[in-house]
Structure 1
Amino acid sequence: MTRNGTPLTVVQHGVVRGLWTVRDTIEVETFDLRTAHRIDPLEADRWARLAGLAITQAQIANHEAGILHLDGLQSGRLGPGRHAFWAATRAVRVVKHDLRPQTLDVTAQEILTKDRVTVRINLSAITRVTDPEVLTRAVPDVGQHMHRLVQLADRAAVGGRILDALLKERARVDDELTTQIRDRLGDIGLAVSDVRIKDVILPGDMREMLNKVVEAEKAAEANVIRRREETAATRSLLNTARLMENHPTLMRLKELEALERLTDKVGRIDVRQTAPVAGLPALLDTLMGEAPQKVDPT
C-alpha cells in the first residue's frame, strides 16, 4: 500500500486497514503468495523498513550456493546474487553452502594404542560440497557430521596399531583414514579429498624414553660408521706398506715428504762442526742416506 507514490505499509493476509483518501492518493497492490513468492530486490529495499518480517532477503556470493526452503520444504537452488521473498504467510529460509574446499581440524583427540599408550592426535581433512541440494537433505549440520566421522575413523586406525607402527607408517595411516571416511560418508553431496595426521603428541615420560632410544640408535650407527672408516684407513695403510716394501724408491719419496713436513715447522737450523767428519755436508749425507765422507784436515 502506497500513499502518493511512497510506501506506506504492508498489510498481511487477514488484516483489515482503513485509510482516508480525501487529500492523499492511496494505491494498493496485492500479491497472491500461492503463486508469487519472489519479490524484486530493489522493491524489497523500498519496503524493507515497513515490511519487517514479511520480507526475507538473502545475499549469495559467487563461491556459494543457496537452497530455498518454503514452509520446511526444499524449493530449489539459488545462484549468486540478491534474492528477496515474501514471508507474510509462510516460513522462508535460505541455507547457504560454501562451494570452496574447506579445512576441518580435529585437535587433541586422546586415543589408546594397541600397546596401551595414550596419544593425542591432531588431524586435518579437506572437504568440498559437490551437491548442495542433496547435502541439505541428508545432513542437518555438516561440520558436526564430518567431525564425528573423522573421530571414528581416527580411533579405528590408531587404536588398532602399536605406537612404533603408528610413528613409522604415517603415510599408510593417512591413506587408511581417507578411505574409511569416504566409505562412511557415502553419497551425500560432500567429498573428502585428503585426511592427514598433523601431530602425534606423546606423554612426557614416553617422549623421554623414545628420545633415549633414538639417541642410542644414533650412537650405534655412529660407532658402525667409525669402525668402517677405521677399517678402510687400516686397509689403505696396509696397501701402502706393501707398495713401499716392493718399491724402495717409493719408500724414499715418503721419507722426503715427511722431512719436508718437518722442515716446514722448523724456523731455524744450527749446524756446528765438532769433528773432522761433520758439518752441513755430513748432515746432508745422513739425510740422504749416504755414508759421511771423511774430510782431510790438511
Structure 2
Amino acid sequence: MIAYLIPILFVLGLIALSVRILPEYQRGVVFFLGRFQGVKGPGLIVVIPGVQQMVRVDLRTITLDVPSQDVISRDNVTVRVNAVLYFRVVDPNKAIIQVEDYYSATSQLAQTTLRSVLGKHDLDEMLSERDKLNIDIQEILDEQTDNWGIKVQNVEIKHVDLNENMIRAIARQAEAERERRAKVIHAEGEQQAAEKLVEAANIMSATPGAMQLRYLQTMSDMSNKNSSTIVFPLPMDVMEMFRKKS
C-alpha cells in the first residue's frame, strides 16, 4: 500500500501545484522555460511547476495618486501641483515583457509629464483651463505608455497650491479689477443719464408748455415737504417778454 500511496500523493501534489484559478479581472502571462508562451485566463488553467512560470496581471482600472510636484510656470511663478491618474492594462504581454514594473514606470512618467506640460503655461491658465491641461497630459501619457500595453483613461489635476505672497498678490489684483469694473459701470451710468437728459431737454424745447408743466410739478413736490422756503412762480412768458425788449 505504501508503494502505491507515495506515487498517488506525488501526483495529487503536482496537480494541486499546477492548477491555478484566475478571476475575471486577471490574466496570466505564462512562460515556458523562460520563453513567452501565451496569455491565459480567466478561469481554471494548468501551469507545470518547474517548467512553466505564470505572472498575474490585473486588468482593472488603477488609481494612481501623482505626488505634489514643484512647477515653475511660464510667467516664473512657483507652484505645487498634484494630480490623480486613471489607467489600466490592455495588453498583459507588453506590460510584463516590455517594462520591468509598469506601475512604477507609469508613476514616474506621470510626474515628469506633469511638470513638463504645466511649465509651458501661465499661472492663470493653470487655474482657469484645467480641463484643457488634463486632456493634454492624458494624450501625452497615453501615447508614451502604448508600448507598455497601458491605456491612460483620465488625468485630473487636484490642487494648485500657491505661497502666501502670491495669494496676496492675486487678492490685490482681484480687488483692483473689481474697482475698475465699478468705475466703468459708474461712468456708463453717467453717460446714459446725460443722454437721457439731452433727450428730455430736446423734447421740452420743442414744446413750450412742457417747461411750465415741469415747473409746476417741481413746486408741487416742494410744497409736500416741511420747509420754510417761499417760492414765487414767474411765468415763462414774462421772461420771454423781457428777453425780446433787451
Structure 2-normalised TM-score? Answer: 0.71
Q: Is the 8 A contact 2:138 2:154 kept in 1?
A: yes
Q: Which secondary structure does the structure 1 equivalent of 2:100 belong to?
A: coil
* Corresponding residue for residue 150 of structure 1: 110
Q: Which secondary structure does the structure 2 equivalent of 1:200 belong to?
A: strand
Q: 1:117 aligns with which of 71, 77, 91?
A: 77
Q: Using a 3 Å threshold, how does the CA distance of structure 1 residues 176 and 85 change in structure 2: closer, same or farther?
A: closer
Would you say 1:93 and 2:54 are equivalent positions? yes
Distance in 2 separating the partners of 1:155 and 1:73: 38
Q: How big is the shift at 1:159? A: 2.8
Distance in 2 separating the partners of 1:192 and 1:78: 23
Amino acid at match of 1:216: A
Q: 1:64 aligns with which of 18, 22, 26?
A: 26
Distance in 1 separating the partners of 2:173 and 2:15: 68
Q: Which whole-Å deviations, capped at 9, do the CAs of 1:131-177 have from their partners, x for residues lacking one?
A: 12222211232221111111111222223444345445545543442
Q: Which whole-Å deviations, capped at 9, do the CAs of 1:182-227 have from their partners, x for residues lacking one?
A: 3433422112244343321111211111111122112212211221
Q: Percent identity?
A: 26
Counting only pairs closer than 5 Å after superposition, residues 15-30 of structure 1 correspond to structure 2 as 19=2, 26=5, 28-29=7-8
Q: Which secondary structure does the structure 2 equivalent of 1:65 belong to?
A: strand
Q: Which secondary structure does the structure 2 equivalent of 1:123 belong to?
A: strand
Choose between structure 1 and 2: higher helix proportion: 2
Would you say 1:218 and 2:178 are equivalent positions? yes
Q: Is the 8 A contact 2:67 2:111 kept in 1?
A: no
Q: Is the 8 A contact 1:70 1:93 kept in 2?
A: no
* Corresponding residue for residue 131 of structure 1: 91
Would you say 1:74 and 2:57 are equivalent positions? no
Structure 1-normalised TM-score? Answer: 0.61
Amino acid at match of 2:2: L
Counting only pairs closer than 5 Å after superposition, residues 125-274 of structure 1 correspond to structure 2 as 125-164=85-124, 166-167=126-127, 170-248=130-208, 250=210
Q: Is the 8 A contact 2:142 2:150 kept in 1?
A: no
Amino acid at match of 1:79: G
Distance in 2 separating the partners of 1:29 and 1:159: 67
Q: Which runs of 5+ in 2 are unaligned?
A: 226-232, 234-246
Distance in 2 separating the partners of 1:253 and 1:66: 97
Q: Using a 3 Å threshold, how does the CA distance of structure 1 residues 90 and 229 change in structure 2: closer, same or farther?
A: same
Q: CA RMSD in A?
A: 3.8
Q: Using a 3 Å threshold, how does the CA distance of structure 1 residues 247 and 176 change in structure 2: closer, same or farther?
A: same
Higher RCO (CA < 8 A, seq sep 6+): 2
Q: How big is the shift at 1:243? A: 1.4
Name which of structure 1's ranges 245-254 and 213-222 shifts more when overlaid on structure 2. 245-254
Q: How big is the shift at 1:108? A: 1.4
Q: Which secondary structure does the structure 1 equivalent of 2:148 belong to?
A: coil
Distance in 1 separating the partners of 2:78 and 2:103: 26
Q: Using a 3 Å threshold, how does the CA distance of structure 1 residues 83 and 53 change in structure 2: closer, same or farther?
A: closer
In the alignment of these two chains, the number of paired residues is 227
Q: Which secondary structure does the structure 1 equivalent of 2:24 belong to?
A: coil
Distance in 2 separating the partners of 1:167 and 1:75: 49
Q: Which secondary structure does the structure 1 equivalent of 2:147 belong to?
A: coil
